[in-house]
Chain A
Amino acid sequence: MDFGLTDDQREIQRTARELLAERARPDRVREHAEARSTDEQLWKELSELGWPGIAIAEEHGGQGLGQIELSILCEELGRSLAPVPFLGSAMAATVIQQDGSAEQRERWLGGLASGATIGALGAAVDGTAELVIGGREADVFVLIDEDGSGRILGAEEADVTPVDSVDPTRSTARVSGAGEPVGDGGACAGLGRALVSVSSELVGVCDRALAMTVEYVKDRKQFGVPVGAYQAVSHRCAQMLLETEKARATAAFAAWTADADPEALAEAAAMAKVCASSAAREVTASAIQAHGGIGFTWEADVHWLYKRAQLDAALLGGAKRHRARLAAILAERVGAGAAA
């Protein structure tokens, strides 16, 4: 048993963190959030570095690495809140790669790997997906219907209406249209991996919220002492760490499962999403609370994390939905045991 990353993986993590610390500084994120614009320059740069194709097969121009590597990037992008359409594009590519026909893979994966094509993925209700992240700039959409099957729509055949969400660090849109079934039209297995990617992004969001909070409460004094000295505050921070680490461990397990033990992915991905969704909501809310009044202002950066956490927590189903899935998996297991 070894939770450690390989040297190569650690290198990916380190360079990603360093690059984003430089290129997605809080003031730059803020600038794009205020304008509700994508950082196209950064997207171009990340594309040149091969990020969008990290987990796309080499035959389609990607790097052919696995979910663990993809998750590392998702986490770093979550931490920095970089205003780029990475997550949606990666999720769309994942589903096309896992579930698409040879023709669909051929048609879309090359562009998605190079970053020339931007993808987005949304869950549709009655055919329409709301608040599809990255929807405004996407060239190709993967819409997942209630039964888990998917549809692929090129932007020109999709009906796209930009709708602003509470999270201005990314664009969002309402998307509908017929499109063509992904692969044979069955339930998309790639969704498990997509859930892992979102969960990993949320781990990054939590980690950053915690780090900002710890730094703030060490510094902020009331009644002559740093507020972090009050146990009401320090225990809150400890709780934030607990939630974050729970989310991190389950996301890491799910990412490993995706390539090493795909049979176990459905359960692991549901667990990861349960932990990440509830951790993100709690940890970012706690970050605001521990900052006091300043945390409630537009000036302080914590609210961006809170808002991103909310959208990601709901993406592809929140904690409630995935707990229900887990309960169903458990019921099946108990039933199978009884039958045997």
Chain B
Amino acid sequence: MDLTFSPQEIAFRDELRGWLAANQPDAAPVDGGEDAQYQWRRDWQRRLYDAGWAAPAWPVEYGGRGASLTESAIYYEEIGRSRSPLAANTLGLLLGGPTLMVWGTDEQKERYLPPILSAEEIWCQGFSEPEAGSDLASLKTRAVKDGEEWVVTGQKVWTSGAQYSKWCMLVARTDGDVPKHKGLTYFLMDMEQDAVQVRPLRQITGEDEFNELFIEEARIPDANVIGGVGNGWKVALTTLMNERAGLGFALQIRLRQLLDDTIAVAAERGLLEDPVYADELAELHTRCESIRLLAWKGLTDVERYGQPGPEGSLVKWLWSDTNQRLTQLAVDIVGPAALTAGTSWSYEFLRARGNTIEGGTTEVLKNIVAERVLGLPRLKVAV
């Protein structure tokens, strides 16, 4: 056991830290709403890209730095620590690119990877449907072959960034006569067609971070099938694995920062001497550190044994629960400002409610831990 970074990892971190310090993005736009925010994040990705920092984990041949898992984790920690925004094309960088690298043909990689990196083409994710959330494999969007094309009809939900996207990672049913996991195919759908309508989905915070997609006979060339017809579930799992792995380190740092901000307010108001608050803040501090350590321990397992341990699900579960507890405690500590519309405190508080639902609900994560890690018997339901 050696819980320090190697000289090489430290060099990586210091180089990035130095670059981030010298290249902070402009202040976030206050006017212009979502569009301005998006443009700002796009400019930021451009800046990262020009300096070779858009996706350090990508192999050198695809424009990355071939960074190790540890370095990649350091990367997200540093991005979070510097309070930089996430790149505009985070879904492409984190999910789309890596999925293509595993399942794409050489032509597909050549065609699609470079514009992901440069933010010329933004990607979105079309997995969840109104009727298929936890039970994703039951999705109903249909794709029917018509000559060299597929014709797609259905509805998707929770597609963030759809209004800015060129490509959608779309999972659709291509065979209704086989067990549900076997009849799916993974497509790359061009969003620039009238058959795809994007409608903003307003959420509890009042903003619309997500969208619904209404797809009415959209056309996708056969060349845009990723990983083969009928293989969509496996390809989708690659995407979902990447989703769980990457962002965690950035989110964990955000949690840390929010905790530090809360502790600062508590100190200012003398609440650190009040045992009611002191006890809870110390517990949250311990949780925050546990999350960090569990996340790093998970990386060790992957690096040593080539397989993620149970930490992925545990970290997401613990993180989401902790973020909810922290933001609720902040309501008590910060007071009315945390319940005033439009403050960052109230935003964090309301947004945290989604944490135990997005990326797999806590209940479903617990099922995964119980069944796959502990080997407990599975409830007999239709699968």
Residues of A participating in the B interface, judged by any CB pair closer than 8 Å: 130-131, 163-168, 222-225, 227, 230, 232-233, 281, 285, 288-289, 292-299, 303, 306, 310-311, 314, 318, 320, 323-324
Q: Which residues of A contact B342 (CB under 8 A)?
A: 164
Interface residues of B in 198-214 (CB under 8 A from A): 201-204, 206
13 extra A-B contacts, CB within 8 A, seeds A166-B339, A285-B324: A130-B335, A131-B340, A166-B341, A167-B339, A223-B134, A223-B381, A223-B382, A224-B135, A285-B353, A289-B356, A297-B203, A320-B276, A320-B332
Q: Which residues of B contact A293 (CB under 8 A)?
A: 128, 133, 157-158, 354, 357-358
When the two chains form their complex, are residues B203 and A296 in contact, meaning their CB atoms are under 8 A apart? yes
Q: Which residues of A contact B339 (CB under 8 A)?
A: 131, 165-167, 310-311, 314
Q: B283 to nearest A CB, angstroms?
A: 15
Interface size counted on chain B using CB atoms at 8 A: 42
When the two chains form their complex, are residues A225 and B332 in contact, meaning their CB atoms are under 8 A apart? no
CA separation between A288 and B358, bound complex, in Å?
Answer: 12
Q: A223 to nearest B CB, angstroms?
A: 4
CA separation between A337 and B305, bound complex, in Å?
Answer: 65
Q: Which residues of A contact B383 (CB under 8 A)?
A: 223
* A-B residue pairs in contact (CB < 8 Å), sample of 18: A131-B339, A166-B339, A166-B340, A222-B132, A222-B134, A223-B381, A223-B383, A224-B382, A230-B363, A230-B379, A232-B366, A232-B367, A288-B353, A292-B134, A293-B358, A296-B203, A298-B203, A314-B339
Interface residues of B in 340-383 (CB under 8 A from A): 340-342, 346, 349-350, 353-354, 356-358, 361-363, 366-367, 379, 381-383
B114 contacts the other chain (Cβ, under 8 Å)?
no
B163 contacts the other chain (Cβ, under 8 Å)?
no
Q: B209 to nearest A CB, angstroms?
A: 10
Known contacts: A222-B133, A296-B353, A296-B354. The answer to whether A281 contacts B204 by CB under 8 A is: no
Q: Which residues of A contact B138 (CB under 8 A)?
A: 222-223
CA separation between A306 and B328, bound complex, in Å?
Answer: 12
Output the nearest chain B residue to A132 by Cβ-Cβ distance. Answer: B336
CA separation between A222 and B128, bound complex, in Å?
Answer: 13
When the two chains form their complex, are residues B202 and A222 in contact, meaning their CB atoms are under 8 A apart? no
Output the nearest chain B residue to A296 by Cβ-Cβ distance. Answer: B354
When the two chains form their complex, are residues A233 and B363 in contact, meaning their CB atoms are under 8 A apart? yes
Interface centre among A166, A295, A311 (most CB of B within 10 A): A166
Q: Which residues of B contact A281 (CB under 8 A)?
A: 328
